[in-house]
């Protein structure tokens, strides 16, 4: 490990970002580079090389991954369409099972946590970090590589002839023939009320926890026994919930609706709200460990291939009807098995199903198909599932308890749950959308399509929720009187020397508190990025925002880095691509949709496909220049190797630089 200290390095490839995307890029480079001398690669990360900021190995074990243990890998398999060779390696589950059998060489907590890992386990994020660390070390030890780890914040990137020079915050530099931007979850400036609330807290002696990663916040500031407002009910909310309860000595016993929370007395009273007003739906606990494979009816692989052939296609006309029909069919099929008494004969509603075009059309179909209104799916209400009428506080609390009760029932018995069927269908639809996006099947209007954006939001709400343990924690806290919800369209402000929260849909006075916690992370908005490197590139015109041209000829800029669609080369403000700088993953998400999602064994992975595409582009560039001549592998079938001649050793580290 090279720590900060002003070192200057010269390498073949520099990867900025030491989390899963950076590791995947190094793995793909090593898989394609064979024979002769080593490819010299520097991996730069400001937090932890080999884990990145999300999967740090020193964080609390109560922060869980929101994917099952059998859903994580760093290695591509035959399910991801790449033309590079498959070298292979253990999935997270295989690694954890191996450590459980042979714990030697691991810290005690690692072995202990691995003992409890099964296919259906939602393991801690720190344990995933250890997995990523060990796979990074395993990949770095391949004979094709010489990997240098650099812990530091990249702040600038400049041309130096055919090379690219990265400046670090400590003054050191890393110069490379090619650079990959693989930062993952980049921060953006919070904006909005943040500065105002910080000033208000200072003036009135209040407690304000600004937006940020839960793992790095100081939760000791939140006082025990006092009300604390929480703004946000997405992924961060569940981390904060755990940190301020389980992290303070509370205990959760029992499962499902029998879950009981035993307070330690150190907990605050949490009052949480958001625009939707309700938390994400929880992930299921399958009795046999893993769900059965979803079988599509409308948007299967053959249909997707046809859409790709017909490209460019309009999302609203060609894809939205199929996606809506898929979700409705999944729901009705499951409801027929769970409650056949409330579903009409298929002949009464199937013709209407085949005519569905939008989520707004579903209500009429449900009236035909389902006798009891409470059993009807309302796709148009997914983004705002709360009742339209204004409720009293007591009626709102009863509604919330009913919502949580229904969700926990779905979590506990997903095989008979129509809600879980929609969840699995949504995950499938999202995978098919990623295939279409990657193939460039959509016309320009898809990028700003309200229907497509609504589908993405609803996908997060019903398919990206928390582990079942966190749903049970919410239920236990509700019963213990330690968790309340503000209401739909929640509002937060500072008034009369206190923070306040209220909902226009729930009667009563605003709720006052000394403490306000922001349960969200400012990220994803490239135009407002706080990442110093990306900020510098954008400000100097070395990078630009991705834009699409509509049918009208209008050019619309999106909040994503502009990269080429074939090689993911960074495009500058003059629309010129830099064939030595590449960007993969979240910052370039509009060109690489789905790359924010971690790689799952047996499932097409945009993350791994993107890493392979960039590795191929880099090695082609290196082979074509005199800086480094490369042997690398391109295997159309993903398993055969064919060598390209002429390897010479890359230059060594400059004098004075540590290895």
Determine which of 105-114, 312-321, 540-549, 585-594 has the lowest per-residue pLDDT on average: 585-594
- pLDDT band at 527; cut points 50, 70, 90: confident
Structure confidence at residue 376 (pLDDT): 84
**Of 274, 278, 249, 283, whose CA–CA distance to 263 is shortest?**
249
**Over residues 412-421, mean pLDDT:** 76
Instruction: Please give the backbone phi and psi of residue 589, each rounded to the nearest 5 degrees, phi first.
Output: -65, -30
Structure confidence at residue 207 (pLDDT): 98
Instruction: Give CA–CA dist 401/474, Å, rounded.
Output: 10
Most confidently modeled range among 236-250, 322-336, 354-368:
236-250
- pLDDT band at 289; cut points 50, 70, 90: low
**Over residues 489-502, mean pLDDT:** 96
Q: Which helix (H) or strand (E) holds 577?
A: strand 577-583
- pLDDT band at 220; cut points 50, 70, 90: very high
Match 């015109």 to its residue by tokens. Answer: 541
Tens digit of each residue's pLDDT (9 = 90 or more) over 144-161: 999 999 999 999 999 999
CB 282 within 8 A of CB 408: yes
Determine which of 348-357, 432-441, 591-600, 650-659 has the lowest per-residue pLDDT on average: 650-659
**Of 60, 194, 191, whose CA–CA distance to 518 is shortest?**
194
**Of 414, 454, 500, 4, whose CA–CA distance to 204 is shortest?**
500
Determine which of 152-166, 545-559, 633-647 has the lowest per-residue pLDDT on average: 633-647
Structure confidence at residue 384 (pLDDT): 66
Determine which of 156-165, 323-332, 344-353, 409-418 has the lowest per-residue pLDDT on average: 409-418
Question: Taking all residues of the chain, what is their mean pLDDT, rounded to a whole number?
Answer: 86
Domain edges within the chain: 8-188+525-624, 194-279+466-518, 301-463
Structure confidence at residue 290 (pLDDT): 67
CB 550 within 8 A of CB 445: yes
Q: Which helix (H) or strand (E) holds 273?
A: strand 269-273
> Does the pLDDT value for residue 643 go beyond 50?
no
**Of 355, 404, 359, 395, whose CA–CA distance to 379 is shortest?**
359
**Of 566, 646, 584, whose CA–CA distance to 33 is shortest?**
646
Structure confidence at residue 299 (pLDDT): 93
Same fold, 8-188+525-624 and 194-279+466-518: yes
CB 482 within 8 A of CB 267: yes
Structure confidence at residue 381 (pLDDT): 66
> Does the pLDDT value for residue 9 go beyond 80?
yes
The angle, 0 to 180 degrees and rounded to 10, between the axes of the packed helices 92-101 and 125-140 is 90
Instruction: Give CA–CA dist 189/528, Å, rounded.
Output: 6
**Over residues 280-290, mean pLDDT:** 75
> Does the pLDDT value for residue 501 go beyond 90?
yes
Q: SS3 sequence, 138-203?
A: HHHCCCCEEEEEEECCEEEEEEECCEEEEEECCCCEEEEEEEEECCCCCEECCCCCHHHHHHHHHH
Q: Between residues 545 and 445, which one has the greater pLDDT?
A: 545
Collapsed DSSP state (helix, strand, coil) of residue 233: coil
**Of 648, 618, 646, 643, whose CA–CA distance to 633 is shortest?**
643
Residues 6 or more apart whose CB falls under 8 angstroms from that of 373 comprise none
Q: Between residues 145 and 417, which one has the greater pLDDT?
A: 145
CB 613 within 8 A of CB 567: yes
CA distances from 556 to 107, 355, 445, 559 (A): 52, 32, 10, 10
> Does the pLDDT value for residue 521 go beyond 60?
yes
DSSP per-residue codes, 466-493:
--HHHHHHHHHHHHTT-EEE--TT-EEE
Q: Between residues 270 and 556, which one has the greater pLDDT?
A: 270
Q: Are strands 145-151 and 154-160 parallel, antiparallel or unpaired?
A: unpaired
Helix intervals (H) in 258-370: 301-309, 320-338, 346-355, 362-369
Burial code of 327-359, b = ≥16 C-beta within 10 A, e = fewer?
Answer: bbbbbbbbbeebeeeebeeeeebbebbeebeeb
Match 């046809």 to its residue by tokens. Answer: 306
Helix intervals (H) in 480-605: 532-539
DSSP per-residue codes, 5-65:
S--EEEEEEEEE--SHHHHHHHHHHHHHB-SSSPEEEEEEESS-TTTTTTS-TTS-TTPBP
Q: Residue 559, Cα to own-chain centre: how many angstroms? A: 17
Q: Choose the CATH number for 8-188+525-624 among 3.40.190.10, 3.50.50.60, 3.40.50.2300, 3.40.50.1010.
A: 3.50.50.60
> Does the pLDDT value for residue 116 go beyond 60?
yes
Collapsed DSSP state (helix, strand, coil) of residue 97: helix
Residue range 194-279+466-518, CATH number: 3.50.50
Q: Which two tokens stand for residue 502?
A: 């209220």
- pLDDT band at 433; cut points 50, 70, 90: confident
Left (φ > 0), alpha (ψ -120 to 50) or beta: where does 431 sit? alpha
Determine which of 308-312, 507-511, 626-630 has the lowest per-residue pLDDT on average: 626-630
Structure confidence at residue 634 (pLDDT): 46
- pLDDT band at 651; cut points 50, 70, 90: very low
Percent of the chain with pLDDT over 70: 89
> Does the pLDDT value for residue 523 go beyond 80?
no
Tens digit of each residue's pLDDT (9 = 90 or more) over 160-206: 999 999 999 999 999 999 999 998 877 777 777 899 999 999 999 99
> Does the pLDDT value for residue 626 go beyond 90?
no
Most confidently modeled range among 21-30, 73-82, 386-395:
21-30
Q: Which two tokens stand for residue 209?
A: 């926890």
Structure confidence at residue 554 (pLDDT): 72
Determine which of 191-205, 289-303, 319-333 has the lowest per-residue pLDDT on average: 289-303
- pLDDT band at 287; cut points 50, 70, 90: low
Structure confidence at residue 284 (pLDDT): 78
Q: Are strands 577-583 and 555-561 parallel, antiparallel or unpaired?
A: unpaired
Percent of the chain with pLDDT over 90: 56
Residues 6 or more apart whose CB falls under 8 angstroms from that of 283 comprise 66, 68, 122, 411, 423, 465, 466, 467, 468
Report pTM: 0.87
- pLDDT band at 218; cut points 50, 70, 90: very high
Q: Between residues 275 and 185, which one has the greater pLDDT?
A: 275
Structure confidence at residue 463 (pLDDT): 66
> Does the pLDDT value for residue 417 go beyond 90?
no
- pLDDT band at 633; cut points 50, 70, 90: low
**Over residues 514-533, mean pLDDT:** 85
């Amino acid at each position: 490990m090279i720590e900060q200290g002003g070192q200057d390095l010269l390498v073949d490839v520099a990867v900025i970002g030491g989390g899963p995307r950076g590791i995947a890029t190094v793995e793909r480079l090593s898989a394609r580079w064979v024979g002769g001398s080593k490819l010299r690669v520097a991996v730069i990360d400001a937090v932890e090389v080999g884990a990145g900021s999300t999967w740090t190995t020193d964080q609390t074990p109560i922060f869980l991954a929101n994917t099952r243990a059998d859903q994580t890998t760093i290695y591509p398999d035959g399910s991801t369409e790449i033309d590079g060779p498959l070298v292979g390696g253990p999935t997270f589950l295989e690694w954890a099972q191996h450590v459980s059998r042979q714990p030697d060489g691991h810290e005690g907590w690692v072995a202990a946590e691995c003992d409890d890992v099964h296919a259906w386990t939602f393991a801690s994020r720190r344990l995933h970090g250890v997995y990523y660390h060990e796979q990074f070390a395993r990949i770095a030890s391949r004979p094709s590589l010489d990997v240098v780890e650099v812990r530091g914040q990249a702040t600038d990137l400049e041309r130096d002839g055919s090379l690219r020079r990265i400046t670090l915050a400590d003054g050191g530099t890393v110069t490379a023939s090619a650079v990959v931007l693989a930062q993952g979850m980049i921060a953006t400036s919070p904006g909005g009320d943040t500065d105002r609330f910080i000033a208000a807290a200072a003036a009135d002696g209040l407690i304000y926890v600004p937006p940020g990663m839960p793992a790095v916040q100081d939760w000791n500031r939140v006082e025990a026994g006092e009300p604390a407002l929480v703004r946000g009910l997405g992924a961060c909310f569940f981390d904060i919930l755990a940190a301020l309860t389980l992290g303070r000595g509370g205990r959760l016993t029992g499962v499902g609706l029998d879950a009981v929370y035993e307070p330690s007395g150190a907990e605050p009273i949490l009052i949480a709200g958001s625009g939707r007003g309700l938390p994400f739906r929880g992930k299921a606990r399958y009795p046999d460990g893993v769900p059965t494979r979803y079988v599509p009816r409308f948007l299967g692989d053959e249909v997707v291939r046809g859409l790709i052939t017909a490209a460019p296609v309009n999302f609203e006309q060609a894809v939205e009807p199929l996606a809506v029909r898929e979700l409705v069919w999944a729901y009705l099929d499951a409801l027929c098995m769970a409650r056949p008494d409330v579903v009409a004969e298929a002949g009464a509603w199937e013709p209407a199903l085949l005519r569905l075009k939008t989520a707004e059309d579903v209500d009429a179909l449900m009236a035909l198909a389902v006798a009891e209104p409470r059993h009807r799916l309302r796709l148009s209400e997914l983004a705002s599932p709360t009742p339209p009428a204004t409720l009293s506080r007591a009626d709102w609390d009863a509604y919330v308890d009913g919502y949580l009760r229904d969700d926990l029932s779905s979590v506990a018995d997903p095989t008979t749950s129509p809600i879980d069927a929609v969840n699995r269908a949504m995950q499938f639809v999202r995978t098919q959308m990623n295939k279409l996006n990657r193939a460039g099947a959509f016309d320009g209007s898809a990028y700003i399509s309200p229907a497509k954006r609504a589908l993405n939001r609803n996908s997060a709400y019903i398919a990206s929720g928390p582990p079942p343990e966190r749903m049970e924690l919410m239920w236990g806290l509700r019963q213990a009187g330690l968790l309340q919800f503000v209401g739909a369209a929640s509002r937060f402000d500072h008034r009369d020397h206190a923070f306040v929260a209220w909902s226009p849909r729930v009667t009563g006075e605003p709720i006052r508190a000394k403490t306000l916690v922001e349960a969200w992370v400012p990220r994803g908005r490239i135009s407002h990025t706080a990442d110093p490197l990306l900020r510098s590139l954008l400000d100097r015109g070395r990078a630009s925002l991705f834009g699409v041209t509509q049918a009208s000829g209008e050019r619309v800029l999106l909040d994503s880095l502009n990269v080429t669609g074939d090689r993911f080369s960074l495009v500058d403000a003059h629309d010129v691509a830099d064939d030595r700088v590449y960007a993969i993953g979240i910052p370039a998400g509009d060109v690489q949709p789905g790359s924010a999602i971690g790689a799952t064994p047996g499932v097409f992975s945009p993350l791994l496909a993107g890493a392979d595409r960039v590795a191929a582009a880099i090695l082609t560039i290196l082979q074509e220049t005199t800086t480094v001549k490369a042997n690398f592998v391109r295997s159309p079938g993903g398993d055969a190797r064919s060598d390209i001649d002429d390897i010479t050793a890359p230059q060594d580290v400059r004098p004075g630089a540590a290895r």
